């Protein structure tokens, strides 16, 4: 409603004759058990009330957008209606009046908590902290005043704005410093430590959305607990919280990623692939591997199993994940080596993690070179005639040694 009147006032200034301020007010009246919700938007005619409020999840937003001949970018939430109707679950009746809209909810006796200041603030912070129009809470305060040697209690009304925080993901990343990212991450993830890496990006075109993704500094102790609700990816539409745990955007093996996705489009159809394939790997590849080996060591120590699980489960991104693998080897038992470095030397890799066998069995090759487990009997290794000749010579050279070992160990060795 506020977006509509703002748009129409651009061509007809008289639309704002009754006041230029656009805001939403929440007014709790504890004495009468009434919760009032008011905005200074465009309001609705009787016909619009009948048409739009007579059916669950019906909104005039879509019709309004379709009616714009200019094709102006007025993206507004529609096709929901759940929020409007849910208000009536706690109300007996209401009396809508005035310019814009004023809704009075006469609360049921068992729903009076919605008049409490802390409850209202909690709900606004959770669902509407980042919307562009100010949300004002009108709170009654009592103060004592001296009048003719008597102290008299005077009631006053104070206005407090509840959503004065601009969404950090809508700001230019060049204008955001590390401290701001760290503070936002701690609030988002309820983490006492700073994040390890952050990626902020936007996608434009047929589908538009903004996102900000964080890699934590350490894995939670219950990382692989299936029944745990993580609230990792919060989904917003036009800065209004729609889902606080949009697990479909992130594959399970990457569910340590924290972040926010905010879409301007409806219906919302962001796919998991659009988010994960291009961006989450960039967080790790560019922000951690390329810039800070020490940070990558911390990341790898915390999320090794996630990477290896991804190689096992995600066939489409298996080889992208392989570049993050690190192993100790016969070259160094102190420093991890990547597969990319390994194929330039060909020492022996130590795959001591139980999950290694599963992940490598699915990887099968790296940059055209096959991975073969030499602990299994009869490994098939591609070799040319020269290599085959050298191998046969090695067998002859060690034949006497093998016989001596067999003789000493006896039946303890089968092959």
pLDDT above 80 for 280: no
Average predicted confidence (pLDDT) for the chain: 77
Q: What is the spatial distance between Cα 48 and Cα 97, in angstroms, rounded to a whole number?
A: 14
Q: Report CA Rg, the chain.
A: 31
Q: Which of these ranges, 237-241, 280-284, 362-366, 383-387, has the smallest mean pLDDT? A: 280-284
Domains 2-161 and 177-324 equal at CATH topology level: no
Q: Furthest-apart CA pair in the chain: how many Å?
A: 117
Which of these ranges, 103-107, 130-134, 203-207, has the smallest mean pLDDT?
203-207
Residues 303 and 219: beta-carbon distance below 8 Å: yes
Residue with the two structure tokens 């938007």: 41
pLDDT tens column, 137-167: 998 877 777 766 677 777 788 888 888 777 8
Residue 263: Cβ-neighbour burial (10 angstroms; 0-12, 13-18, 19+)? buried
The rounded distance, in Å, linking the Cα atoms of 220 and 271 is 26
pLDDT higher for 253 or 112?
112
- Say how many C-beta atoms besides its own lie within 10 A of residue 193's C-beta: 12
Q: What is the pLDDT of residue 287?
A: 46
Q: Note the pLDDT tens digit of each residue in 36-76.
A: 888 888 777 777 766 665 444 444 445 544 554 445 444 43
Domain 2-161 has what CATH class? Answer: alpha beta
Please state which CATH class domain 177-324 belongs to: alpha beta
What b-and-e string marks burial along 291-326, b requiring 16 or more CB atoms within 10 Å of the CB? eeeebbebbbebbbbbbbbbbbbbeebbeebbbbbb
**Where do the domains of the chain lie?**
2-161, 177-324, 325-381, 383-415
Mean pLDDT of 355-383: 81
**Half-sphere exposure (CA, 13 Å, Cβ side) for 411?**
0
- Tell me the CA distances in angstroms from 198 to 76, 132, 178, 187, 286, one per residue in order: 28, 24, 10, 14, 10
């Amino acid at each position: 409603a506020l977006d509509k009147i703002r748009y129409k006032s651009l061509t007809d200034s008289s639309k704002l004759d009754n006041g230029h301020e656009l805001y939403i007010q929440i007014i709790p009246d504890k004495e009468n058990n009434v919760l009032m919700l008011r905005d200074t938007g465009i309001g609705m005619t009787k016909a619009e009330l009948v048409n739009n409020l007579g059916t669950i999840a019906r909104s005039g937003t879509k019709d309004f957008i379709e009616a714009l001949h200019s094709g102006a970018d007025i993206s507004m939430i529609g096709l929901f209606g759940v929020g409007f109707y849910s208000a009536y679950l706690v109300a007996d009746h209401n009396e809508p009046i005035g310019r814009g809209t004023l809704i009075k909810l006469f609360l049921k006796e068992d729903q009076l908590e919605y008049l409490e200041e802390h409850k209202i603030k909690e709900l606004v912070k959770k669902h509407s902290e980042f919307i562009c129009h100010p949300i004002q809470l009108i709170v009654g305060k009592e103060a004592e005043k001296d009048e003719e040697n008597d102290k008299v209690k005077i009631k006053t009304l104070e206005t407090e704005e509840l959503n004065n925080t601009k969404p950090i993901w809508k700001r230019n990343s060049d204008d955001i410093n590390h401290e701001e990212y760290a503070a936002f991450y701690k609030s988002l993830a309820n983490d006492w430590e700073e994040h390890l890496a952050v990626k902020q990006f936007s996608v434009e075109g047929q589908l538009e959305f903004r996102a900000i993704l964080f890699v934590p500094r350490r894995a939670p102790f219950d990382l692989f607990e299936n029944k745990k609700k993580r609230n990792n990816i919060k989904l917003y539409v036009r800065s209004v919280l729609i889902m606080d745990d949009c697990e479909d955007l992130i594959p399970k093996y990457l569910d340590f990623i924290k972040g926010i996705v905010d879409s301007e489009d409806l219906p919302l159809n962001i796919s998991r692939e659009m988010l994960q394939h291009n961006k989450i790997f960039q967080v790790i590849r560019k922000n951690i591997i390329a810039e800070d080996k020490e940070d990558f060591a911390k990341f790898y120590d915390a999320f090794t199993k996630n990477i290896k699980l991804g190689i096992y489960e995600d066939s489409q991104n298996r080889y992208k994940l392989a570049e993050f693998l690190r192993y100790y080897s016969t070259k160094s038992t102190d420093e991890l080596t990547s597969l990319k470095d390994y194929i330039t030397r060909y020492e022996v890799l130590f795959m001591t993690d139980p999950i290694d066998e599963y992940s490598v069995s699915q990887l099968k090759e790296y940059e055209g070179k096959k991975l073969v487990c030499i602990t299994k009997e009869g490994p098939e290794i591609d070799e040319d005639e020269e290599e085959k000749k050298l191998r046969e010579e090695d067998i002859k050279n060690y034949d006497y040694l093998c016989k001596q070992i067999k003789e000493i160990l006896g039946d303890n060795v089968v092959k």
